[in-house]
Chain A
C-alpha cells in the first residue's frame, strides 16, 4: 500500500494523464450500471427512479414469453460472429498487404480509401444498398439482366441478407480495424525479419511465421472487444438497411431492432432497460467464457 502511494507520488504526472479516461469510464460506464435498476421497476419519470414501484420480473415478460426471443438472440449472435470473423480476416489481409507496399504515396492512398467507408453513416449505407438491390431499378438486377440472367427479388429473400450485411460490414469497418493492426505491425522489431531473411525465408514465410504470430495479442484483444458486444445488435446498421421490411426479419432481426419495434409505441423505459440488462449479462458471460477459452489455449494472451 505504501509502495503504491509512493509510486503514485513519484509518477504523478503520468498518472494524472489517466484521469480523463477514468472520469469518462466512471461517468459513461459505471454510473449507468445503476440504471439496470429500472429493469425491475415500473419507471415513471414524474416519480423518479426511487419513487416508482417495484415490478419484479414483469418487465422481462414481453420478451421471454413469446418464442421470438430465441430467434432474435440467435440472429444477434450469429450476425455478430460473422461480422467479427470476417472483419478480422479482411482487416488482417489489408494490414499485411499494406505493410508490404513500399511505394509511400500508393500505400497512403490505399489506406485512406479503405478507411473512408468507416465514416459513412448507416442511413446513407441503407440508401446505397437500396439503390443496389431494389426490385424496380436496382443496379444489381440491371446488371443481371444485361448478363442475360433472371432478376432476383433481393428484398424478399431472407437468406441472402446475412451475406449482404456481412459484406457491407466488411466494406465499412475492415479498413478501420486494419489501421489498428497496421500500427501494431509497424511496432514489430525489424530484427526478426532481418534474421529471417538471412535464413532465406520468403516474403510469404515471413508473414506466416513472424507477422501473424506476433500480432496474436492484438488480434485477441480486438476479438475480445467484439465479443463483449456480441449480444448488442448494431441498431443503426440493421434499421438503416432492413428498416420495417417484415419479410426479412427471420434472418436479420436482432435484439435491438426487435425491442425497438416492441416498445416504440409504448415508450416504456423499464421494459427497454430489461432488454439492456439481458444483453449486458449475456455479454458479460460471453467475455468471461471467451477469456477462459483463451486462457486454456494461450495463457499469455488472455485479457484478465
Chain B
C-alpha cells in the first residue's frame, strides 16, 4: 500500500538507505580510504606498474553519449592506466536529458562514485554548498601538477566557490563559441546573399518559409533556456552587455547589464532590448517561421537540421563540425551547413567572468580521492588527453603540428569537455576554415575580454530557497513560451508578472545584497 511510487518517494528512500549504509560503513571507513602513497603492501599482480599503489577502479560519471570507438578507446585507456597507476576507470555516461535527476540521486544517495561532472548550469554551486564535493587545493598541489599547469591562473582564480576549489574548471575559451547554423545549399538555391546580420538571417528564414514548404525555417530551444531565441540574440548584443545572473540557469528575468554590479529585474525594467526581441520572435512564430512545435519538440535541434527538417538553429560552435556535413549529405546529397556568427570580434567589447561552463569534481564520499586526482593529472597530459578526446592515434586521428589534428576515418574518443578540456592541450581540426579559427582563437585569449566586476562571485540561494523553488515553477509556465514566440507577450507577460513579481523581487534583493557584500570585500 505504501509502496513508494514516483521518483520523489524513491529518492527519499535512497537517501535513507544511504544514511543507513553510511552509518554501517562508518566503522571501517579509514581502512578503505588509505589508498594513497601511505598504503602498505601492494596486492597481487606484480606486473602492474607502480607497486606502491593498490589496484583501484575509479567510477566516473559524465554526461554525453557513447561514441563508436568507446570500447576500443576505453580498453587502451585502461591499459595505460593499469601500467602507470595500477588503476582502471569505469565511465557511466548519462544522457543530457537525464543528467540533472540522475546526478542528483547519485550524489544524495551516496552512490559509489569518485569523479562526477557538474556545472554552474547543473547544480555545482548548490551541491558544493551542501558539501557533496571535496575541496581540491591540497590534492591539486600534491598530485595534480599537470592539471594546474594546463590552466592559466585567471581561470583558477575565477572559478572558485567562496574561495575554495570544488571542481577542476573545464574549458578552452572564455565565452562559449556560438552561432546560428543555416543551410548553405538552400540559401544559394533561394538566391539569398551571404548572411552577415540578423536582418540577412531573417531574409533567409522567410525565403525558406515561402519556397521550401517541407522544411521548418527555424527552431530554437524550447526546453533549454540558453537556446531560447531571445537569449541567443541577447548574448551577442554587445551594445547592452546583458548577462544572466544564473540564479535560474540562463534565465534573463534577473540580469546584469554593463559592468555596474547591479542586479536588474526584468519585471521592473522591461528592458527594451529584451522586450523588442520577445516581440520579434512572436512575429516569427505567428508567421510560421519559428517551428510551431518549439516547446514540445523531442528531437535535438542539431538532429532536426541533419535530417533536413529544419533550416536554421542556434548551435554552440563557430564553425560546422565535419561529421555534421557528412551526416547531412547522407540525407541531402548536396546539402551543406554554414555558420552565421553574430559574435562581436572587437577586443574588450565582450565581458567575461572567466567562469568555465563545466567542471569535474571529486565526490566527498569517494574512497579514492587521491587516485581520482592522479587520474585527472594523467588525463591532462598531451598523449592521454589526445587519446581520451580523439581516440587512438594513427587509427582514429593523426597529429598535425603541435596544436592541430586530422581525422582518420572515424575520429572520436570517450570524453572531452566533461573531463579534461583545457586551453593548453586542445587541438583544432586541421580542416577548420580560417574564419572559424579566427573566432576560436579570439575567445581563447583572456585579454580580449573585459573583466566582469563580479568575477569570482557565486550566489548562495539558501536564504531565499523557497522563493527560488516557487519562481522556478512560475517561470517554467511562461519563460520558454515567451522567449521563443509561442506565447503572446501582450497577454502572458502580464500574467507572468502578476504571479512571479513577489518572489522574484525577494530573490533580487538577496542577490543584490550578496553582490554588494562581494564588491565591498573586493575593494
Contact = CB atoms under 8 A, between A and B. Distances in A.
User: Do A and B actually bind?
Assistant: yes
Nearest to B476: A261
Given A261-B472, A267-B126, A49 B19 contact: yes
A264 B298 contact: no
B465 A271 contact: yes
B466 A135 contact: no
Interface stretch (A30-38, A181-189, A200-208): A30-38
Interface string A17-52: 000000000001111111110100001111111000
Nearest to B465: A266
A169 interface: no
A204 B126 CA distance: 63
B139 interface: no
A48 B19 contact: yes
Contacts of B3: 28-29
B386 to A, nearest CB: 35
B171 interface: no
B295 A135 contact: no
Determine which residue in A38, A126, A260 has the highest number of CB atoms from chain B within 10 A of its CB, and name it: A260
Contacts of B107: 45, 267
Nearest to B127: A267
A280 interface: yes
B466 A48 contact: no
A269 B126 contact: no
Given A130-B297, A156-B486, 18 more contacts: A32-B16, A63-B469, A68-B473, A130-B298, A136-B292, A155-B295, A244-B476, A246-B477, A247-B295, A259-B8, A260-B7, A265-B123, A267-B127, A269-B108, A273-B12, A276-B6, A279-B9, A280-B2
Contacts of A289: none
B12 A45 contact: no
Given A61-B466, A136-B292, A267 B108 contact: yes
B473 A155 contact: no
A246 B22 CA distance: 40
A218 interface: no
Contacts of A256: 6-8
A31 B16 contact: yes
A228 B1 contact: yes
Contacts of B293: 130, 134-136, 155
State the 4 A-B residue pairs at the shortest beta-carbon distance, nearest first: A46-B131, A135-B292, A62-B469, A62-B466
B473 A58 contact: no
Contacts of B478: 246
Highest count of chain B CB atoms <10 Å: which of A32, A34, A65, A263: A32
Contacts of B223: 243-244
B6 A233 contact: yes
A32 B1 CA distance: 13
Contacts of A48: 19, 22-23
Given A62-B465, A62-B469, A264 B101 contact: yes
Interface string A153-179: 101100000000000000000000000
A35 B472 contact: no
Interface residues of B, number: 65
Interface in B288-322: 291-293, 295-298, 309
B136 interface: no
B442 interface: no
The secondary-structure label for the interface of chain B is helix
B261 interface: no
B382 interface: no
B248 interface: yes
Interface of B: 1-9, 11-13, 15-16, 18-20, 22-23, 100-101, 104, 107-108, 110, 123, 126-127, 130-132, 216, 222-223, 248-249, 291-293, 295-298, 309, 364, 461, 465-470, 472-474, 476-481, 486-487, 499, 503
A35 B15 contact: yes
30 contacts: A31-B20, A32-B13, A33-B2, A35-B16, A36-B12, A44-B131, A45-B108, A45-B130, A48-B19, A49-B16, A66-B503, A130-B293, A134-B293, A135-B292, A232-B9, A235-B6, A246-B479, A256-B8, A260-B7, A260-B101, A262-B472, A264-B100, A265-B123, A266-B472, A269-B15, A272-B12, A273-B12, A273-B15, A276-B9, A279-B8
Q: Which of B8, B13, B110, B309 has the most chain A CB atoms closer than 10 A to its own CB? A: B8
A266 B11 contact: no
Nearest to A155: B296
Interface in A115-137: 126-127, 130, 134-136
A287 B18 CA distance: 30
A31 B5 CA distance: 15
A195 interface: no
A30 to B, nearest CB: 8
A234 B6 CA distance: 7
Contacts of B6: 232-235, 256, 276, 279
Interface residues of A, number: 67
A232 B15 CA distance: 19
Contacts of B126: 265-268
B489 to A, nearest CB: 14
B257 to A, nearest CB: 23
A276 B364 contact: no
Contact of B248 (A38, A235, A265): A265
Contacts of B469: 62-63, 262-263, 266, 268, 271
A280 B9 CA distance: 9
A43 to B, nearest CB: 8
Nearest to A44: B130
B131 to A, nearest CB: 3
Contact of B222 (A228, A245, A279): A245
A113 interface: no
A259 B12 CA distance: 14
A245 B487 CA distance: 11
Contacts of A29: 1-4
A285 interface: no
A38 B100 CA distance: 21
A225 interface: yes
B16 A245 contact: no
Contacts of B249: 265
A249 interface: yes
A62 B469 CA distance: 6
Contacts of A63: 469
Contact of A32 (B4, B22, B23): B4
Interface in A81-130: 126-127, 130
Nearest to A272: B8
A275 interface: yes
B406 to A, nearest CB: 38
